[in-house]
Chains A and B, each alone.
Chain A
């Protein structure tokens, strides 16, 4: 029992060490200017542009149901106009970043680990290395930079859509007074809430890129190995996002007190 706990602990430490190493290698390469802009733009398109549909639908419908549910409850208390700020604050602080993180982990993280993993098992990574190209420079750096740029924007987009649909549901469907809805929202939700969302999005982006690329670079043994790396990437990303989100919520609350 003690021994297996010890082994799990060691594996975890080793894993975190590898991630930290990949992080340092990546930031080092970015700082030293080993950036391939063409690949960067390609990844921005792949990660940023093509994730928009998913993120808009997620943000939009979450905002809509959240507005509906809050309305059902608050209506009983005669607090209809509180729906706006409640939805806005939850979307900014929690739902926007977490749901976007989870969706991007599923869409982008899976693609990254599958693509890099396939390159690994078909010796394309070795071919890169043999041509004096560092795999981190070529594969991880463009993806990391693209996700640094895209994630906050995607989170912003999902928050925006969430609030927009909550307005539609709250005001047009449930009959809350539009002006109250908005003025209360503006009064209670402020820049701090948005900042929290964007910071979280940024952190989740880093986690997704590191975990997925790491899984890909360490893929083994053919198609099965790539499959495993891909599923692991999505699972680890999702769980990490949920755990780290809690830590961030507590931490950011100190910086931006409610």
Chain B
């Protein structure tokens, strides 16, 4: 039995399965193993999050990404259509799945009290309420409204922000509005270093 016959046999074995029934049978039998692996996967296009070559990605997940379905990205590979990367990924990009699914991903908001040696889990609302209170008290006490010459300067010097160069533009614009809208001047990102 050669390779082709083997796959024909396999294909025959699933002829009555739901896949065939839904008209999803691959027409080229020898392509079957690949199709089977990914057939129920959702394919999503993305870009590598590490360096600024910006290689194209195909990400494969189970589920439909609705909120109550567990996230389940199970495979990431290079996007062969991408004109720069042409399907290639370097050793960083090749390990992306293990970043997404890293055991060190954070899962819940946490709080460390002054002097404490451990985290305690808190709710988002607790986090927002407490952070907003700390920020407001600091802003109200330390906002510099005018300089020595009497020019309005409205700068808030005693709180600052360091921002991420791996966030998207859209998140970055919200970050910019948030920071400047409140009067922050000490704002920087990885481009500085």
B is bound to A: no
